Amino acid sequence: MKRVVVSIMILLLLTGCWDRLPLRNLKIVDIAAINYDEKSKKVLLNYVVTKSSKAGQGSDVSLSESTEISDSSVIKAVGQGLYKEQGPFIGINTRLFLLSESFAAHQPVHELAFLLETPFTTINSPVVILDDQDAAFFKQFNSSTITDKTKLLNDFVKSLETYGIVPNVTMMDFLLSKEEPLNDLVLPVIKHVNSRMEFNGALLFRQSESTSMMLNNEQVQSLMFLVGNGNVVQKLKGFSSKFNYGRVARTGHLDDKDYAFFIKKINSKIIARQRLSKLPDITIKVSMNIYATELGEQLSGLKTEYVNEMEKALSNHLNEMATNTIKKIQEANSDVLGIGKELRAFHPAIWKTLEWRKDYPQVLIEPQFEVRILNTEIE
């Protein structure tokens, strides 16, 4: 028994908090931001590194610092990281890739393809476009005060997909899209405003190359409707309605009455029709189930006759929004709706008659929204 007690005491001494000391020296690359300097013709690589300033049981406080490296290419800049104070950096092992619009316009895959074969690279980290990569953005990470900005930024980027705003694209998907002629992408754009990050639309890509054409927030929303992402899980806070939980809130105006609606479920289907000696007609049929409510001092149910009118008005409004969005993506020759993939997989006879990149901008693509309001006033 005495030996057992002694053994337990020794184990308690050996399993103390001594292992917290190395954690203070552990550095994590939270952000790898890449810009292109038009004047010097050089790549600017910014690493934002986070380390623990206090490491203890059940608590941790972190500090972030940025390091800028400039060279003629990304891989050379990465190599220079071995000699920097915040280094060494092995490959680009990061939680988030930020690409400036100018870098995205200069063959980004050519510069970044080495990541596919680089050990220790987190190739599944998301890629985001930063529309304003000035010094002010990175100065916020160099502060003597304790900061949690890197976590806030990473959480914000993750939330864009979680809440159905826009899908996140990983670095691996971005690089591999170069080899797939029908794999066009849209990358979220974030903007640095008053020390805060905001979603600022999306940049359209064609086979990993920037089209330099942007979708605004409303057009991105319309794009997500057209894609039909199933159940939308975004939550609305601060709205006193029993219909709000777990649904995306949209507001509008109809017959001098303000209203909001919350998406319960949304699905889309691509329908193709061949026309003799002409390009095919494409219809994107979107079925949307929603809860709707009038806004005002008193919330009340919707009368049946008013519901029918609202369904038609809302369907027309969404069709108009979607038509403008489709026009924009066709101008960019970016098939982010995946129509080419659909034709190749399910309509091979039609597909064989097309020269897709040449014909796609001229194909007639029409949205057809069918809105169904689930809640009506009980009579």
Rounded to whole angstroms, the Cα distance separating 197 from 17 reads: 37
Residue pLDDT, tens place only, 55-82: 555 555 666 777 888 899 998 888 887 7
pTM, whole model, 2 decimals? 0.81
CA 78 from centroid of its chain's CA atoms: 25
Handedness of CA 119, 125, 129, 135 (dihedral sign): negative
Residue pLDDT, tens place only, 122-163: 889 999 998 755 556 666 665 544 456 788 888 889 888 888
Rounded to whole angstroms, the Cα distance separating 268 from 281 reads: 16
Angle at 218 between CA 215 and CA 219, to 5 degrees: 40
Q: Please list the pLDDT of the chain residue by residue as tens digits (379 residues).
A: 666 555 655 555 555 554 444 545 555 678 888 988 888 889 988 888 876 665 555 555 666 777 888 899 998 888 887 777 666 666 677 889 999 888 999 889 999 998 888 877 888 999 999 875 555 666 666 554 445 678 888 888 988 888 888 888 999 999 999 988 888 999 999 987 777 788 999 999 999 999 999 999 989 989 999 988 654 443 332 223 333 333 444 555 555 566 677 788 889 999 999 887 789 999 999 998 887 776 665 555 666 777 787 788 888 888 999 999 999 999 999 999 999 999 999 999 999 999 999 999 999 999 999 989 887 654 4
Rounded to whole angstroms, the Cα distance separating 376 from 379 reads: 9
Q: How many residues can be counted in the chain?
A: 379
